[in-house]
Amino acid sequence: MLVLLFYLKQINREIKMMLVQRTLTNHIKASGIGVHSGRKITMNLLPAEEDQGVIFKRIDLEPAVEIKAVVENVGPTSFATTLIDGNVEIATVEHMMSAFAGLGIDNVTVEINDCEVPIMDGSASPFVFLIQSAGIKEQSKPKKFIKIKKEISITTDNGAYAKLSPYDGFKVTHSLVYDDESRKSLSKTTTVDFNSTTYLKEISRSRTYGFMNELEALKKNSLALGASQKNAIAIKDNKILNEDGLRSQDELVKHKILDVIGDLYLLQYNLIGEFEGYKSGHTQNNLLLRKLIEVPDSWELISSEVDNPIIDYIEPIIDPSLG
């Protein structure tokens, strides 16, 4: 009897250790402004079945068009990460994808009535709030991860590079570098090791930013029509114009890390490995992921059921109505 009790306790411990897939407990609706279109956009976040992944659905089209959030469906990356299906686009997905990655959400459908995800306050924090408000529901199937086995990197003509390396956990280093004198003081390198800190604490509230001397040119090209100090950090030369300043000393470079996390989640699974970027952005991130896929011996797909990865997520939020 004592042996049986010990055995049962061991089974329970192993079950608790296994990370399972996550979705939302409830449907939730929100709206906001498109940073490029300037239009009011409404979106619905819906629970989804196991193994679905993240799907964006354009419900303003007839018939509605679904686009899965995976590397192969990424189109333009100049000012944001854009998913495409033929002529249909859903832009600026990176902040929402970052929130999904940071909270370990595997399966969700995002219905949206326009061609871009609303910018909200320019960070991932509003999306984190929406997910937590909807509730996080643990499913039954084990969570899967992409584990980096060999170093892989890309370099672009402007000297920017991005690299993935083996690491027992998840770590991101980014070097934000400006060569011109007026912006040089904004350059910064930061490393965040998620083995010792959390996405919510370090990354989620870091906002996007833009330079005032580039704003008019963007607007002439029908970009940044919805940009304001309510949803971005405004910079003139090296001066922050927002009345409340920065949320942290390294908010700019940590927003780049926020973007990295969102872009990496287009692998469909959380990453076990180390990312390093220098002057890099969405373009380099996507090129790196495409190269990774092309070199299958540089990574492996593992399951939390067997491999017990060293990754932690916040506890699921239980809907009180479920008892």
Q: Are 167 and 274 in contact (CB under 8 A)?
A: yes
- Beta strands 239-240; 233-236: pairing state: antiparallel
Write down the catalytic residue from 95, 174, 255, 282.
282
Alpha-carbon distance 21 to 104, whole Å? 8
Q: Hey, what amino acid is at 103?
A: L
Q: Are 207 and 127 in contact (CB under 8 A)?
A: no
Task: Single out the residue of 33, 37, 32, 40 nearest to residue 218, CA to CA.
Answer: 37
Task: Record the tokens describing residue 321, joined without a space.
Answer: 């109505």
CB atoms within 10 A of CB 133: 14
Q: Is residue 283 within a helix (H) or strand (E), and if so which, with residue range?
A: helix 282-294
Q: Are 106 and 53 in contact (CB under 8 A)?
A: yes
Active site residue 282: yes
Alpha-carbon distance 22 to 101, whole Å? 11
Q: Please state the separation of Cα 41 from the chain's center in Å.
A: 20
Catalytic positions, written as ranges: 282
